[in-house]
Amino acid sequence: MYTLNWQPPYDWQWMLSFLAARAVEGIETVTGDYYERSLELDGHRGLFRATPDVDRHQLKVTLSEGLQPVAQACLARVERLFDLRCDPQQVAAALGELGAARPGLRLPGSVEAWEQGVRAILGQLVSVAMAARLTSRVVARYGEPLAACPGYRCFPQASVLAEADPLALKGLGMPVRRAEALIHLARAVMEGRFPLTPPEDVEAGMKALQQQPGIGRWTASYFALRGWQAKDVFLPDDYLIKQRFAGMTPAQIRRYAERWQPWRSYALLHIWYTDGWQPN
């Protein structure tokens, strides 16, 4: 067992609920006590389970035998997924009143940027639950079973989806244009045209993502938020954000949000998850 630390406060109930709502069958298991999922890293495959010890401010991580050779790389991904290196006091100082009600909110990341890109595309114009179901179908069709862990599969490799038939993907319940966007994404990853690590200029990186077929501004922003775990991203075109900022244009919303730099990603989460919040 491995131990990772975090600075309190940390709202684990919210984090696990967030991940549970988006859990992909065959990849993830989320309960009120732990998060478990399959992972493939540098040719090594297995499961990890992360269990928070709230009293000690520690995350207990167990790795199956298949992941032991890449233990440190796995732990780094767990840290990113759960945003364990966040300094909540620094964020709170920037957010002020906005963050006061839920000081333990963290930015959910991802274990693999490629996977998060797929999820972002499949989440376009559908509910959170439907996005999880669509992703589960893609995993069931294209993901390789994890032999040592019955019931689990590995998330499909980009090389597999790059060769997928768009009509076969459409048959899983998505528009053919979305299926084609997944294939384009997979090919961009294979050719090194899709940045899997955060670029130095995140804004420029998001604009570059929008040159990919099927990736608009919202999808690029959401991917940056979770796939790169960028700390200073805001989504003025998001449906719920536009409701919270009723009567304001996206440009006005963007200017209003500048007060929360360089932690606008956390501000976004607080606005999403604070019922009835309105700008001053």
CA atoms within 13 A of residue 275's CA, in its CB half-sphere = 0
Quick check: 162 and 180 in contact, CB under 8 A? no
**11, 33, 238, 275: the active-site residue:** 238
Quick check: 229 and 205 in contact, CB under 8 A? no
Whole-angstrom distance, CA of residue 10 vs CA of residue 248: 32
Which distant-in-sequence residues (6+ apart) come within 8 Å of 225 by Cβ?
107, 233, 235, 265, 268
In the numeric block, which tokens belong to residue 271?
A: 């606005």
User: Bridge partners of 5?
Assistant: 58
Is 238 part of the annotated catalytic residue set?
Answer: yes
Whole-angstrom distance, CA of residue 132 vs CA of residue 266: 23
Residue 101 neighbours by CB distance under 10 Å = 12
Quick check: 265 and 259 in contact, CB under 8 A? no
Catalytic residues: 238
